[in-house]
Structure 1
């Protein structure tokens, strides 16, 4: 496989990676706390329990199985972001454990939380009023549950 050289704007977009990751990490911790609160308050509606395992960002378990979320950091030249990848436990054709990706969302270094890999932005962790944040995180919780419900 042949690879091309990176454009100058991509190289300039790398920025201060350590500082950027620290900023993103603050936003991701705040978001995880909000998700935990909302999952607790919607347990009777969705029948899904939320927990934070020693490894991973979070996991949800319920009638539709087990879903684990991992937080990965990346940079596409426009800045560093966190990508939360959801994987659902299933079995492959040989009956072995498998964890296929089922969905992902992003947290950008400016605080924007995207509804998926391509957006749109649901809200901003830094400066969205609390009422609007609750509505946006509720939508994120519903998207996570919907992803878990899909067969794999």
Structure 2
């Protein structure tokens, strides 16, 4: 496989990776707290238990099985971001345990929370007032539940 050279803007975008990751980590921690509160308040509606395991970003368990979310840091030239990847516990065709990816969303270093890998922007962790963050994050909760409902 052959690889291309990186554009100058991509190389300039990694100048402060440690600071960028620290900033994204603050935003993702606030989002995880908000998600926990929303899943707790909607338990009777969705029947999903939300926990924070020692390893991983969060975990859901309910009628649709077990879902684990992991936080990964990345950079695609436009800056550092956190990518929350959801994986569903299942069995493969040979009956072996598997954790296929079922969905992902992003938190950018400027605080934007994307409702998928490609957007749109749901709200901004830094500048959106708290009461509006909870309303906006409900769409994210519903998207997570819908992803968990996928058969595989």
Please confirm whether the aligned pair reaches a TM-score higher than 0.5, indicating the same fold. yes
TM-score normalised by structure 2 residue count: 0.98
State the partner residue of 1:101: 101
Q: TM-score, normalised by structure 1?
A: 0.98
> Equivalent residues in 2 for 1:2-151 (5 A)?
2-151=2-151
Q: Is the 8 A contact 1:56 1:68 kept in 2?
A: yes
Determine if contact 1:21/1:80 at 8 Å carries over to the other structure: yes
Q: How big is each residue's C-alpha offset from its partner over 1:22-63, in whole Å with a ceiling of 9 and x where there is no partner?
A: 000000000000000000000000000000011000010000
The answer to whether the 8 A contact 1:14-1:80 is kept is yes
Separation in 2, partners of 1:38, 1:27: 17
CA RMSD of aligned residues (A): 0.6
Q: CA deviation at 1:135?
A: 1.1
Number of residue pairs the alignment of both structures matches? 152
**3-state SS of 1:60 partner:** strand
4+ residue runs of structure 1 moved beyond 4 angstroms?
Answer: none
CA distance in 1, matches of 2:15, 2:80: 8
Distance 1:5 1:81 in 2: 21
What 5-or-longer segments of structure 1 have no aligned partner?
none
Q: Which runs of 5+ in 2 are unaligned?
A: none
